[in-house]
Structure formats: structure tokens, C-alpha cells
Amino acid sequence: MTEQSDIDWGKFDGFSWIRCSGKGNFLSSPSVKKSAEQCLELGERCLVIDLHQCSGMDSTFMGMLAGLAMRITKQPGGGRLEIAGAAERNINSLEDLGLDAFMEINPDSAAWCGREETIRGSLSAWKVQNLNSRERGQEVLDAHKILAAANEDNAQKFESVVQLLENELGTQTK
């Protein structure tokens, strides 16, 4: 069984904070996405995804992050996705897929800089999103389509994965 993550979140003055503890993967992606979408629906313009306790990320999780970044920047008035507490391994994973072009990773001048521990101490647990296998498959497919659309190198890297998932879900365009 793949490791499940704990998701915590909180709303602060000028940003919402979402923490992923454990593995950032296809199991935790829907919960992070849902909590972020709720923040965006409430008019949030800055989302902070805290990876300080995230032991690693799979491509589904990174695709979900890229999708959030693209969505928030397209809001009326703009917005941004900031990554906090990313260790070198997670930074390298995001950069290897060119996702650093869509989000700010460990920014030095963010509104929350220097307050991380206080923020982390005041977060609330987010109810984990349980999806059926078809819904989970669709989330994985959507995340990989986002990665493929991010740049030409990713399009080649993820072409076969997208095709396989489309075939499995019966959603391939004819």
C-alpha cells in the first residue's frame, strides 16, 4: 500500500496554507486539490503549499500542483502559488519538470517568511478525500495531462502515460 499523507490547512491574512505530511502522491492529491479549490472559491489569491514534512512527490501530485498554479494565476486580479519548506529533493523534482516556471519555490520575500512554525502550529486537519477507482483514475489522468501541457519535454515524457490512462478510463478521443 502506498503511504497516505496527512493534510492540514489554515487561512491567514493574505494567504491560505496547506501542509502535506508524508508522501505527496495520487492518494493525497485530491485532498490537497479540494482544500485549495475551497480557498480559491472564497477569493484567496495566494496559496502556500507546505512541503516541509513531505517525504517525496509522485507525478500525479506534481501535476496537481501545476494545475493549481495555472488556475490561480488565471483568476481575475491574478494570484500565485508558493511552495514552502521544500527540501532539495522536492525542489529538484519540481525543477526537473519545469514546474518552477509556474510557482514560487521557497520564496525569500513571502508574507509568511519567518512565521512558518507559528503557522504550522495553528493548522487544522483537512478531511481526506476518498475517491472511487474511476474518480482516482480521472484525477491521475488530469494531473498527467497538465504535466504534458506544461512544456514540450513533458509532453514527450508523459505521452504514453496519458494514452494508457485514457485507454483504461475509456476517455480517449477518437
Report the CATH number that the domain containing residue 31 is assigned in CATH. Answer: 3.30.750.24
Q: How far is CA 85 from the centre of its chain?
A: 14
Q: Tell me if 114 is assigned to some domain.
A: yes
Res. 49: pLDDT tops 60: yes
Q: Which of 5-9, 27-31, 96-100 has the lowest mean pLDDT?
A: 5-9
Res. 140: pLDDT tops 90: yes
Q: Tell me if 70 is assigned to some domain.
A: yes
Give the span between the Cα atoms of 166 and 147, in whole angstroms.
15
pLDDT of amino acid 81: 98
What is the average pLDDT across 51-76? Answer: 96
**Radius of gyration from C-alpha coordinates of the chain:** 16
Q: Tell me if 15 is assigned to some domain.
A: yes
Domain count, the chain: 1
Q: Tell me if 149 is assigned to some domain.
A: no
pLDDT of amino acid 127: 81
Res. 6: pLDDT tops 80: yes
Res. 174: pLDDT tops 70: no
The kind and range of the H/E element at 16 are strand 15-24
Q: Tell me if 31 is assigned to some domain.
A: yes
pLDDT of amino acid 171: 62
Domain that holds residue 53: 6-129
Give residue 167's pLDDT band: very low, low, confident or very high (50, 70, 90): very high
Contact 15, 48 (CB under 8 A): yes
Q: Tell me if 173 is assigned to some domain.
A: no
Catalogue the long-range contacts made by 154-160 (C-beta closer than 8 Å, 24 or more residues apart).
154/97, 154/98, 157/97, 158/59
Q: Tell me if 53 is assigned to some domain.
A: yes
What is the average pLDDT across 92-119? Answer: 96
Give the span between the Cα atoms of 27 and 39, in whole angstroms.
20
Res. 2: pLDDT tops 50: no
pLDDT of amino acid 5: 62
Res. 128: pLDDT tops 80: no
pTM of the model: 0.91
Res. 120: pLDDT tops 50: yes
Q: Tell me if 24 is assigned to some domain.
A: yes
pLDDT of amino acid 130: 82
pLDDT of amino acid 4: 54
Residue 174 or 135, more confident: 135
Residue 5 DSSP class: P
